């Protein structure tokens, strides 16, 4: 019987593993695709305190190694179900079968929604980004597009308009879903161009993105040269495995607070898959530490 089973080996899950191991708990981390999580696809991370510039890959590798060195067992496997048992939880997986644990930490993350266009995946890291705070610096003085009409898109556009020459804000409707105050701030900026009632229908450039085709509601098309495109059309939380242990908000995120307690004793939810204001590396890691220490306290109380 394991003390802690962590599902997801991104910054939240690996930090949770580090803390649980250092507290002497027998810990297993199960990850279905990439140890280190989505950050490993970021060419350069410049907002991680105390490391002014580090590649996402190096950061992910270091996190993984640190968790392993602390004693965590890492499995590359896909979890298919988590069930409550008499003494804890049964975590079933595709390859490893069943794992038994006294506590479970879900750190399954959230994936940015895609536009659904041909070659979209190819351009990720080569012109397409999902995070202005992470990647905006690479487009300093350049021309970028932002797709979306929610608060994230409006905030990304504001952030980018401070560092880029021109920001094209592309939204499929006349009205923005995001706060009016953000739209007003954007409309006062001379380097922000609004493209309402427009969608991106094609991505161009080889190997890097150099432009997009905009398709307007009236059927007309426009070729828009761009150095980068920030897609901010929402996220899909990976909630399938934990939704029976907690309540979800309208977006499908675990509707729990900073304590990361799912509402079912022994179950914790950490990182981007829970409701939160700021989804950044450091906040995901903070959740990992919080969830792991909460699991340790729960285990210690059980004796
Ligand atoms: P969101 O509010 O769900 O907005 C997503 C936007 O993307 C919508 O405008 C939507 O268009 C558009 N969209 C969706 N699919 C699309 C597609 N396939 N092609 C083109 N456009 C598409 O997501 P969000 O902006 O990430 O915000 C998520 C939540 O976090 C919201 O509740 C938001 O208010 C909150 N948030 C708050 C803050 C804050 O400072 N308080 C900051 C960021 C986010 P439609 O409008 O046509 O549906």
The pLDDT of residue 43 is above 80:
no
* Residue partners of 43: CB distance under 8 A and separation at least 6: 55, 56, 125, 138
The pLDDT of residue 44 is above 90:
no
* Residue partners of 187: CB distance under 8 A and separation at least 6: 194
The pLDDT of residue 45 is above 90:
no
CA–centroid distance, 10 to ligand 1, in Å, is 24
CA–centroid distance, 106 to ligand 1, in Å, is 24
Whether 260 is catalytic? no
Rounded to an integer, what distance in angstroms lies between the CA atom of residue 96 and that of residue 168? 48
Top pLDDT among 79 and 38 is at 79
Q: Whose CA is nearest to atom 19 of ligand 1?
A: 115
25-32: average pLDDT: 98
pLDDT category, 12, cuts 50, 70, 90? Answer: very high
pLDDT at 108: 98
Kindly name the residue from 21, 77, 134, 227 that is annotated as catalytic: 134
Q: DSSP labels for 53-69?
A: SB-HHHHHHHHHHHHHH
Name the 3-class secondary structure at 154.
helix
76-105: average pLDDT: 97
Helix (H) or strand (E) holding 74: strand 73-76
Candidate from 37-51, 61-75, 187-201 with smallest mean pLDDT? 37-51
Cβ < 6 A, ligand 1 pocket: 113, 115, 147-153, 155, 172-173, 177, 199, 232-234
The pLDDT of residue 149 is above 90:
yes
pLDDT, tens digit, for every residue of 154-172? Answer: 999 999 999 999 999 999 9
pTM, full prediction: 0.77
Return the number of other C-beta atoms located less than 10 Å from residue 206's C-beta.
10
pLDDT, tens digit, for every residue of 82-94? Answer: 999 999 999 999 9
Q: Whose CA is nearest to atom 21 of ligand 1?
A: 148
Rounded to an integer, what distance in angstroms lies between the CA atom of residue 42 and that of residue 57? 7
Whether 134 is catalytic? yes
pLDDT averaged over every residue in the chain? 96
pLDDT at 193: 98
pLDDT at 87: 94
* Residue partners of 103: CB distance under 8 A and separation at least 6: 3, 4, 5, 88, 89, 266, 267, 268, 295, 298, 299
Report how far Cα 42 is from the mean position of its chain's Cα atoms: 12
Q: Whose CA is nearest to atom 40 of ligand 1?
A: 151
């Amino acid at each position: 019987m394991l003390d802690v089973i962590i599902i997801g080996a991104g910054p939240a899950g690996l930090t949770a593993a580090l803390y649980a191991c250092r507290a002497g708990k027998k810990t297993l981390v199960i990850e279905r695709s990439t140890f280190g999580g989505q950050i490993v696809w970021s060419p350069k991370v410049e907002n991680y305190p105390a490391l002014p510039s580090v590649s996402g890959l190096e950061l992910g590798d270091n996190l993984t190694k640190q968790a392993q060195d602390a004693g965590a067992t890492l499995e590359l496997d896909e979890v298919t179900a988590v069930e409550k048992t008499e003494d804890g939880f049964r975590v079933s997986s595709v390859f490893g079968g069943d794992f038994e644990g006294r506590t479970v930490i879900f750190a399954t993350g959230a994936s940015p929604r895609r536009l659904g266009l041909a070659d979209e995946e190819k351009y990720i890291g080569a012109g397409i980004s999902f995070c202005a705070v992470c990647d905006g610096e690479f487009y300093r003085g350049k021309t970028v597009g932002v797709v979306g009409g929610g608060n994230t898109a409006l905030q990304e556009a504001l952030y980018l308009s401070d560092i880029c020459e021109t920001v094209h804000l592309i939204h499929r409707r006349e009205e923005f879903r995001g706060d009016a105050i953000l739209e007003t701030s954007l409309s006062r900026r001379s380097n922000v161009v609004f493209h309402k009632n427009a969608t991106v229908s094609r991505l161009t450039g080889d190997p890097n993105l150099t432009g997009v085709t905009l398709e307007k509601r009236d059927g007309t098309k426009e070729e828009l040269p761009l150095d980068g495109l920030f897609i901010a059309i929402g996220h899909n939380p990976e909630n399938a495995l934990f939704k029976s242990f907690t309540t979800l908000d309208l977006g499908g995120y675990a509707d729990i607070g900073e304590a990361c307690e799912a509402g079912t004793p022994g179950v914790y939810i950490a990182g981007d898959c829970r409701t939160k204001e700021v989804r950044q590396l450091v906040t995901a890691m903070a959740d990992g530490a919080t969830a792991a220490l909460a699991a340790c306290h729960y285990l210690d109380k059980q004796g």
